[in-house]
């Protein structure tokens, strides 16, 4: 007989983001000319080297590797130059890393920029220009730093985006109320706008600004937003696309800031609702003159939609993080796609108190544990192993897997793992297996005793009588 699922929780420290709706593993996807960078919400182990960390680099055809900077472990959101030779890591330990030849105008230690105060960390967000010459430090009233000569200038106002708001000529886009402003070494230009601007990006040569309107609170479903462009030679402001998102799109992508502008300013990649009425958020691309709108993903293959999107500087390759913890790479020209990270299970905890007992049953709680629900005793489309041996699965859902501890399991510490195709793994701490633990089964939580004739449980309404034989069910006898 199986024991009941126990109520203890295996302690694991995880980011709060993991407990809001679909638990999210990957974030801060960014693309450059050779591949992409990815940040994980929790430390992961990568195959085949089994190195543990938070920031990983994708280089085809070799796949994913853990990023190991000279100065130590990398954390946080990555912004990278097109060539990959200058990188900013924004976190509680924000830093700027670059090769010495590129950062010849600023002091560096172990390839890391040192601030005038002699510190190797910055207090605010850092982004880099596509050519790697300039860095923008801060979110409001920030600094543009020329890495070739160490010169810097103050840029007043709120920066327009956390990425691609800085051109290769050192021009930065800011968003004062009612306008979009371009601050360059030669001076500042301001362009009045009617819409409330959420984000703006600029191309490498500061010839075109693309901005996204904010999604205003509204009773209309679906919610609407738009992309517009400003031609910096003529000052002309024109519509690129009017898009929509489902009513829950704001909670899926809280700030809708996952879109990318190519280096030449000719095309954007973005998330928008699919179909009419709109449903899941999918990847779309369109030219910045409003031409050639194409949908790159669909709900048949990615039913729950996407969290993020990123576009290579030349616009040839698109990347996306799906809501079921996959990462897709798409050839924009042909539309061919491949999951460069298959569905990645996220085990969070196992229902146990002071340990499991051989023969008992327990439940693993997590996210994207399997690609589809399966009823008890059916094909679960997932494999669980305990100490390296496959174990019986009783029921599998994306958010939970109920399994049986084999009777032959030896007491002591045991390792439980989900077998999957993803190159990334999150390990649960060892669980304890006890030789025995006696507990009375509580059917329905109403009592432990059953009448002699098995007609019902013993209750206040139907009590036992003197001389009656009572039945008890006990688990944990091993």
pLDDT in tens, the chain (478 residues): 322 222 222 222 223 333 334 578 898 899 999 999 988 877 887 766 667 788 899 999 888 988 876 656 677 788 899 998 888 888 766 677 766 556 666 666 656 666 555 555 566 788 999 999 999 988 888 889 888 888 889 999 988 888 899 999 999 999 999 999 999 999 999 999 988 898 999 999 999 999 998 766 555 566 788 999 999 999 999 999 998 877 655 444 444 467 999 999 999 999 988 876 667 889 999 999 999 999 999 988 998 889 899 999 999 999 999 988 999 999 999 999 999 999 999 888 887 646 788 888 888 998 888 876 655 544 556 889 999 999 999 888 888 998 989 989 999 999 888 888 898 888 788 888 988 877 776 655 445 788 999 998 888 899 999 999 999 887 777 6
Q: Residue 5: what pLDDT?
A: 24
Q: Residue 68: what pLDDT?
A: 74
Q: Residue 234: what pLDDT?
A: 96
Q: Residue 214: what pLDDT?
A: 74
| pTM score | 0.82
User: Across-strand partners of 143?
Assistant: 137, 154
Q: Residue 36: what pLDDT?
A: 95
Start and end residues for every CATH 2.130.10.10 domain found in the chain? 170-343
Topology, domain 346-433: Immunoglobulin-like (2.60.40)
Start and end residues for every CATH 2.60.40 domain found in the chain? 346-433
Beta strands in 60-203 (DSSP E): 63-66, 77-80, 86-90, 95-98, 108-109, 112-113, 126-128, 134-137, 140-146, 152-158, 172-174, 179-184, 187-192, 197-202
Q: Residue 374: what pLDDT?
A: 55
Burial class of residue 469, CB neighbours in 10 A (0-12, 13-18, 19+): exposed
Q: d(Cα 287, Cα 283) in Å, to the nearest integer?
A: 14
User: Phi and psi at residue 445, in whole multiples of 5°?
Assistant: 70, 20
May I ask the CATH class of domain 170-343?
Answer: mainly beta
DSSP state letter for 17: G
Report CA-CA distances (Å) from 84 to 36, 71, 138: 9, 17, 21
Pairing of strands 179-184, 152-158: unpaired
């Amino acid at each position: 007989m199986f024991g009941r699922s126990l109520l203890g929780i295996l302690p694991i420290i995880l980011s709060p983001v993991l407990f809001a709706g679909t638990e999210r593993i990957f974030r801060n996807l960014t693309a450059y000319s050779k591949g992409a960078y990815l940040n994980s919400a929790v430390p992961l182990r990568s195959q085949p080297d089994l190195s543990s960390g938070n920031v990983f680099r994708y280089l085809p055809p070799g796949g994913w590797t853990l990023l190991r900077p000279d100065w130590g472990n990398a954390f946080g959101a990555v912004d990278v130059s097109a060539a990959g030779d200058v990188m900013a890591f924004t976190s509680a330990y924000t830093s700027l890393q670059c090769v010495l030849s590129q950062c010849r105008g600023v002091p560096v230690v172990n390839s890391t920029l040192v601030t005038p105060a002699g510190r190797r960390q910055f207090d605010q967000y850092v982004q880099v220009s596509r050519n790697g010459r300039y860095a923008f430090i801060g979110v409001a009233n920030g600094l543009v730093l020329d890495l070739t000569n160490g010169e810097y200038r103050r840029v007043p106002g709120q920066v327009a985006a956390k990425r691609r708001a800085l051109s290769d000529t050192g021009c930065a886009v800011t968003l004062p109320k009612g306008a979009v402003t371009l601050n360059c070494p030669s001076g500042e230009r301001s362009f009045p706008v009617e819409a409330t601007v959420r984000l703006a990006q600029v191309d490498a040569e500061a010839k075109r600004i693309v901005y996204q309107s904010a999604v205003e609170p509204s009773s209309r479903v679906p919610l609407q937003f738009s992309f517009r462009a400003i031609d910096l030679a003529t000052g002309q402001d024109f519509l690129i696309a009017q898009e929509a998102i489902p009513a829950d799109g704001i909670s899926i992508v809280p700030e809708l800031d996952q879109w990318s502008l190519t280096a030449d300013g000719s095309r954007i990649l973005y998330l928008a609702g699919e179909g009419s009425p709109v449903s899941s958020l999918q990847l779309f691309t369109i030219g910045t003159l409003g031409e050639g709108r194409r949908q790159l993903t669909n709900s048949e293959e990615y039913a729950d939609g996407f969290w993020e999107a990123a576009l290579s500087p030349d616009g040839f390759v698109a990347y996306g993080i799906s809501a079921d913890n996959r990462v897709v790479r798409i050839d924009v020209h042909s539309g061919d796609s491949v999951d460069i990270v298959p569905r990645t299970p996220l085990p969070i905890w196992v229902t146990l108190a002071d340990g499991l007992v051989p023969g008992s049953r327990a439940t693993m709680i997590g996210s994207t544990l399997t690609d589809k629900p399966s009823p008890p005793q059916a094909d679960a489309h997932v494999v669980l192993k305990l100490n390296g041996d496959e174990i019986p699965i009783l029921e599998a859902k994306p958010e939970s897997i109920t399994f049986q501890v084999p009777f032959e399991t030896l007491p002591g510490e045991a390792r439980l793992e989900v077998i999957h195709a993803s190159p990334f793994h999150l390990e649960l701490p060892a669980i304890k297996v006890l030789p025995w633990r006696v507990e009375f089964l509580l059917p329905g939580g109403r009592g432990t005793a059953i009448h002699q004739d098995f007609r019902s449980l013993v209750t206040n309404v139907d009590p036992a009588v003197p001389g009656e034989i009572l039945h008890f069910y006990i688990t944990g006898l091993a």
